[in-house]
Chains A and B, each alone.
Chain A
Amino acid sequence: MRNLLIFITKYNAFFLFLIFEIASLIIYVKYNSFQKATFINSANNVTGNMYAQVDKLHSYLQLSEVNDSLAHENARLRNQLKTSFYVDTIAKHKVVDTIYKQQYEYIGAKVINNSVSQRSNYLTINIGKNASITKDMGVICNAGVVGIVRYVGDHYAIVETLLHKNTIVSAMLADTKDRGSFSWGDNLDPHMGLLSNVSNNAVPKKGELVVTSDLSLFPAGIVIGKISNTQSKTSGTFLNMDVAIAVDFGKLQYVYVVYNRFAKEQLGLEAQENK
Chain B
Amino acid sequence: MGRVIIVNIIRFILLVFIQVFLLKNIPLFNLSTPYLYILFILLLPFETPNILLFLLAFILGLTIDAFYNTPGLHAASCVLLALVRVLFISITVQKEGFDNEPEPTVSVMGFRWFFTYALVLTLFHHFFLFNLEVFRFSEIQYTLTRVVLSSIFTVFLMLISGLLFYRIRERK
Residue numbers of A with Cβ under 8 A of B are 12-14, 16-17, 19-21, 23-32, 38-42, 44, 46-47, 50-51, 54, 115-120, 122, 158, 186-190
- Distance, CA A20 to CA B82, complexed state (A): 10
Query: In the complex, are the beta carbons of B21 and A40 less than 8 A apart?
Result: no
Closest 9 CB pairs of A and B: A28-B72, A27-B72, A117-B27, A24-B75, A24-B76, A17-B83, A40-B71, A31-B71, A20-B79
* B-chain residues with CB within 8 Å of residue A115 when the two chains form the complex: 24, 68
Q: Which of A13, A31, A46, A51 lies in contact with B50, CB distance below 8 A?
A: A13
**Stretch among B1-9, B58-66, B153-161 lining the A interface:** B58-66
A122 to B, closest residue via Cβ = B69
Query: In the complex, are the beta carbons of B71 and A32 less than 8 A apart?
Result: yes
B142 within 8 A of A: yes
- Supply 11 further A-B pairs (C-beta < 8 A) apart from A12-B50, A27-B75, A46-B66: A16-B50, A17-B83, A24-B76, A27-B71, A40-B65, A40-B71, A42-B67, A42-B69, A50-B20, A115-B24, A186-B139
* B-chain residues with CB within 8 Å of residue A190 when the two chains form the complex: 30
Query: In the complex, are the beta carbons of A41 and B66 less than 8 A apart?
Result: yes
- Distance, CA A150 to CA B171, complexed state (A): 53
B42 within 8 A of A: no
Residue numbers of B with Cβ under 8 A of A are 20-21, 24, 27, 30, 33, 50-51, 54-55, 57-58, 61-62, 65-73, 75-76, 79-80, 82-83, 86-87, 132-134, 139, 142
B90 to A, closest residue via Cβ = A13
Query: In the complex, are the beta carbons of A17 and B72 less than 8 A apart?
Result: no
- Distance, CA A40 to CA B20, complexed state (A): 14
- Distance, CA A35 to CA B86, complexed state (A): 36
- B115 to chain A minimum Cβ distance, whole angstroms, is 24
* A-chain residues with CB within 8 Å of residue B73 when the two chains form the complex: 28, 32
- Distance, CA A21 to CA B55, complexed state (A): 11
Query: In the complex, are the beta carbons of A119 and B71 less than 8 A apart?
Result: no
